[in-house]
Amino acid sequence: MPISPYEQDLIQKCYDGDRTAYRELYTRFAGELMAVAMRYMKTKQEAEDVLQDAFIKAYKNLASFNQQSALKTWLTRIVINTALNALRKEHQKYQWNIMEAEEVHDTTSLPLESFHYTELIAFIQQLPDGCRTVFNLYALEGYSHKEIADMINISMGTSKSQYFRAKQLLQEIILSEDAKTKRKAI
C-alpha cells in the first residue's frame, strides 16, 4: 500500500527535523505500536522500553523508509525487531525453555470474541517467551515457520513445536478464563 500524501508530508517534516511533526507521528501510531510491543513483552514497562527504542530508531532511519509500504507497517516492523532484540539480549539467542510440544489437533474453537483485546494480550503475555514470540510472529504477524526460524535463529521444527505449545497453553488459559466468566455470569 503506497503511503498517503499526509504521511508523506509528515515524514518529510520529520526528516527536516520538525519535532512537532514527529510528535504528531508518535501520537498517531503510538497506541497501535504499544499494543504490538505488549504482545511481545511481558510487562508494560518492557513494552514501553521497546516502543521508545523503536521510535528513536525510526527517527534516525527515516531516510531509509522507501515509502513503498505503509508507514504503520514499517513502524510495526521496527517495533517487532526491537522487541526481538530485547528478547535476544535477555535470553542469549533464544535459548528458552523450549519444550517439545506435540501437535494439537484440537478443533475446539476458542471464544476469542468473548474477550477484549487487552485481555487477549494479557493471555499472550502469560506464555513463555519462546512460545509467545513464535505465536506472535506466526499467528498475528503472518510469518511462516521458515521465516521465523531465520529471524530468531531457531530451527523450523522448534518454531512449529513452540507454536503448537503456545496454542495449547492459550487454549487452556482462554478456556479457563471463559469458564470463570461464565461462572460469574451465573
Nearest-angstrom CA–CA distance, 121 and 165: 17
Least distance CB 30 / other proteins (angstroms): 6
Q: Where are the alpha helices (DSSP H) in the chain?
A: 5-15, 19-40, 44-60, 71-91, 117-125, 129-135, 145-152, 156-185
- For the residues of 141-174, what is the DSSP string, one character each? S---HHHHHHHHT--HHHHHHHHHHHHHHHHHHH
Measured from the CB atom, is 5 or 142 closer to other proteins?
A: 142
| Residue appearing with cell numbers 520538525 | 18
Least distance CB 37 / other proteins (angstroms): 9
Nearest-angstrom CA–CA distance, 120 and 182: 17
Least distance CB 65 / other proteins (angstroms): 16
Least distance CB 109 / other proteins (angstroms): 8
Phi then psi for residue 85, to 5 deg, are -65, -40
What are the residues binding other proteins (CB under 8 A)? 19, 22-23, 26, 30-32, 34-35, 38-39, 44, 47-48, 51-52, 55-56, 59-60, 109-110, 112-113, 115, 117-118, 120-121, 138-140, 142, 144, 167
Q: What letter does residue 139 receive in the DSSP assignment?
A: I
Measured from the CB atom, is 98 or 122 closer to other proteins?
A: 122
Non-local (6+) Cβ contacts of 11 within 8 A are 3, 25, 62, 65, 67, 71
Measured from the CB atom, is 97 or 134 closer to other proteins?
A: 134
Measured from the CB atom, is 97 or 109 closer to other proteins?
A: 109
Least distance CB 3 / other proteins (angstroms): 20
